[in-house]
Amino acid sequence: MARKSVERNISYDEARKIYYVSMDLGKDKEGKRVKRYQTYRTLHAARAGLRSFLTHREEELRTPRHDLTLGDWLESWLDNIVRPTRAETTVYGYQKIIENHLLPALGDIPLLKLTPMDIQQYYIQVQQSCNLSSNTLRRHHDLLSSSLRSAVRQDKLLTSPMDKVEPPRAKQKEASYYKPEELKRLYTLIEGHPLELCAKLAGSLGLRREEICGLKWDCVDFQRQLLSVKEARTAFGATIVQKETKNRSSVRTLFMPEDVIQLLHAERERQERLLREGRLEQPSQFVVLDHKCLPYSPNALSLAFTRFVRKNDLPRVTLHGLRHSFATIASFQGVPLFDIGKALGHSTPATTGKIYTHLVDHTHEDTLLKVSDALK
């Protein structure tokens, strides 16, 4: 007796008392439909078998098929996804990690065969052979995570192996800073020096070195005593670019103390004198200039400040450390972390707390002492 259709793709043979499930395997090379039949004793088992087949078949059809290596994909991702949408400095940093580390170690592995263990072993290998810090290694992890998520979105991978990779633990560096009396000593020693204005922009206003180098005269409002932070001057390799600040929160307006205003007036008068003397070909847009009357590069400014600190036997704090000093002194004066973060241009109060853990500890100490005093 012929089989009787029970449901779509399921039929029943009454003579043999068996259910047949028709499984469509697609077409062969000649374009003919290929089917396979599986038998089951019960309708329940037939339905379960059909569901299982359809699920696996769908996964098989979705599974990418290509011969891209990880190196191929990283280069394509960098050129087509990262470069058009990210800052040049970000692209440069990614490119160096890819060229110097990822391509030599993992570049030849087929993308579809890349495993979490491959990446986990890479972390161990590169950390040992190149002596990379855990923070640097975390940047490698973030790059791989971003690129392989993009590979999933572009249907080059079904899932990202990074979902099962244990990320390197980044260690938060303790911020080095000057205490109030140490910052006062610096200000005394640097008075009249070409770096005095830079030191006070960092130590009294909390500007980043890139923001100091990128500061323009049209952002200085002498009448209202306000300074607008809008741009930054950043270096990557031998290239220096003027760009927007680090993030949207970094765009901010700051009140200028009187001593900073006086220094800015003096610098503007100096540049006007240089223009009259012919040492400046045209008025400079930039507030801070180097000894060649050119806008400072961030690295050169940091190096000049470090040399000053060494020469004057001051505690070893970088120019960026003056920004930390600003935050620390503000906290000791009772300014909340939220307000400190706003002045520094942080995106969230959590960012401020994460960087300045010593400030949080100080607050805890103050809180506990107040509770203790209340209970005496």
Residue 194 in domain: yes
What tens digit of pLDDT does each residue of 306-323 get? Answer: 999 999 999 999 999 999
CATH at residue 129 = 1.10.150.130
pLDDT tops 90 at residue 370: no
Domain end call among 164, 191, 223? 164
The region, left, alpha or beta by phi > 0 then psi within -120 to 50, assigned to residue 239 is: beta
**What is the DSSP code (8-state) at residue 256?**
P
**pLDDT at residue 28, rounded to an integer:** 74
Residue 78 in domain: yes
Instruction: Give the integer Cα–Cα distance in Å for 263 and 274.
Output: 16
- Co-location of 214 and 259 in the same domain: yes
Our count of domains for the chain comes to 3
The region, left, alpha or beta by phi > 0 then psi within -120 to 50, assigned to residue 61 is: alpha
Residue 375 in domain: no
Within the chain, where are the H helices? 43-62, 70-77, 88-97, 103-106, 116-130, 134-153, 180-190, 196-203, 209-214, 258-277, 298-311, 319-332, 337-344, 349-355, 357-374
- Co-location of 86 and 150 in the same domain: yes
- Co-location of 217 and 335 in the same domain: yes
Residue with tokens 């990822």: 102
Instruction: Give the integer Cα–Cα distance in Å for 155 and 285.
Output: 48
- Co-location of 291 and 317 in the same domain: yes
**pLDDT at residue 253, rounded to an integer:** 93
**pLDDT at residue 348, rounded to an integer:** 75
Can you tell me the mean pLDDT for 53-76? 84
Domain range for 48 = 4-62
Tokens encoding 216 = 């323009």
Can you tell me the mean pLDDT for 289-304? 93
Residue with tokens 């109060």: 349
pLDDT tops 90 at residue 372: no
pLDDT tops 60 at residue 239: yes
Residues 6+ apart with CB under 8 A from 124: none
- Co-location of 241 and 351 in the same domain: yes
Residue 374 in domain: no
- Predicted TM-score (pTM) above 0.85: no
pLDDT tops 70 at residue 152: yes
Residue with tokens 């359809």: 54
**pLDDT at residue 358, rounded to an integer:** 60
pLDDT tops 90 at residue 133: no
- Co-location of 234 and 358 in the same domain: yes
Domain end call among 43, 62, 81? 62
What tens digit of pLDDT does each residue of 175-206 get? Answer: 789 999 999 999 999 999 999 999 999 999 99
- Co-location of 191 and 294 in the same domain: yes
- Co-location of 347 and 213 in the same domain: yes
Residue 224 in domain: yes
Residue 285 in domain: yes
Residue 172 in domain: no
Residue 105 in domain: yes
Candidates 25, 13, 19; CA nearest to 54 is 25
Domain end call among 20, 35, 62? 62
Residue 299 — pLDDT band, cuts 50, 70, 90? very high
Report the DSSP beta bridge partners of residue 327. Answer: none
Sign of CA dihedral 200, 204, 210, 211: negative
Q: How far apart are the first and last CA of the chain?
A: 97
CA 139 → CA 38, 123, 133, 143, 277, distances in Å? 51, 11, 10, 6, 49
- Co-location of 207 and 260 in the same domain: yes
- Mean pLDDT across the chain: 88
Residue with tokens 């009294």: 204
- Co-location of 304 and 333 in the same domain: yes
**What is the DSSP code (8-state) at residue 225?**
T
CATH at residue 203 = 1.10.443.10
- Co-location of 46 and 89 in the same domain: no
- Co-location of 209 and 344 in the same domain: yes
**pLDDT at residue 66, rounded to an integer:** 86
